Amino acid sequence: MAIIGTGNIGCDLLLKVMASPHLRCDSFAGRRISSPGIELAESRGIPTTAGGIDAVAESADRIDVVFDATSAQDAVHNWNILEGLGVPVIDLTPSHLGKFCVPALNLEECLTEQNVSMVTCGGQAAVPIARCFSDASDGLGYLEIATASSSASVGPATRANIDEYAFTTQHATHEFCRVDTAKTILVINPAEPGMVMRNTIAVPASENLDMEALRVSVDTMEKRINSYVPGYRVVVPPVATGDRVMVTIEVEGLGDWLPRYAGNLDVITCAAVAVAEGRAEARR
């Protein structure tokens, strides 16, 4: 397999791929030979290239899957090349070119797709809980997802894709949940030391919810996600407070590339690894 993109997400992903007994990275592709990501890969004995997508395309016949950890704009260009070569892509950008995949919700139906979209970090963390709200109701009028991540964990590609982040997260919420209106809020917090990624999912108190069903569903979903994202946990279980019903979760990272506050990296890289491992298992 190959990874395109040597920023924060690409580096964290590389370290998780290296720790997987089912995956092997044969190419870590970026644009600057002196980038910290390339230096990291070379220090671990991973083949690197500054040739980006062109270098990956040249060795397409030897690659089982490509992880795209670039940007939404670059992902479009990369897919235009890889699609015709028949190379499967696991897309960690908010480009939404392929089928949405949230492993806790639809892993099995994504294993044979040529292009799988990992939504966004907020989507991986919060959409499953949004689905719990949806399942505990007859359909929702309004649902809100507010995600707060440490500034140090949000790289330039993510900052450039804020609009795509909000659109893609909202689109995934509509696809996986019965909700008329979904709103996504992203807060990039500059606090020092960095704060652990937090996500609050809320609906108006006027929504017709079965609170006991919601509690059971959230508990089950937490365990399901925690099986592939070890730092995922519910910190505020379903509670009615004032004019809304809310759940808050946080994701603490493993500290592979950035400190443990960078759960926004782990939640999407762990999910992407779960898809790749599922594909590898399915081929056996």
What is the reported pLDDT for 283? Answer: 81
Q: Name the burial class of residue 178, with classes exposed (0-12), middle (13-18) and buried (19+) by CB atoms within 10 angstroms of its CB.
A: middle
List the structure tokens of 54. Answer: 């062109």
Using CA atoms, how far apart are residues 256 and 266, in angstroms rounded to an integer? Answer: 9
pLDDT of residue 242: 87
Q: For residue 260, what is the DSSP state? A: T
* Cα-based angle 144, 9, 235 (whole degrees, multiple of 5): 40
In the annotation, is 121 catalytic? yes
Give the per-residue pLDDT at 271: 98
Q: What is the pLDDT of residue 221?
A: 98
CA distance 10 to 2: 10
pTM: 0.96
Per-residue pLDDT tens over the stretch 55-87: 999 999 999 999 999 999 999 999 999 999 999
C-alpha 100/C-alpha 77 separation (Å) is 19
Tell me what pLDDT residue 91 has.
98
Catalytic pick among 11, 25, 101, 121: 121
User: Could you tell me whether strands 140-150 and 197-204 are parallel, antiparallel, or unpaired per DSSP bridges?
Assistant: antiparallel
Find the DSSP H helices in the chain. Answer: 8-19, 36-43, 52-58, 72-85, 103-106, 121-135, 156-160, 162-176, 211-226, 263-283
Kindly list the distances between the CA atom of residue 2 and the CA atoms of 59, 65, 97, 106, 268, in Å, as whole numbers in the listed order. Answer: 10, 7, 19, 24, 17
Residue ranges in the chain whose pLDDT is less than 50: none
HSE-up of residue 137 (Cα within 13 Å, Cβ side):
23
Q: What is the spatial distance between Cα 57 and Cα 51, in angstroms, rounded to a whole number?
A: 10
Specify the pLDDT at position 157: 86
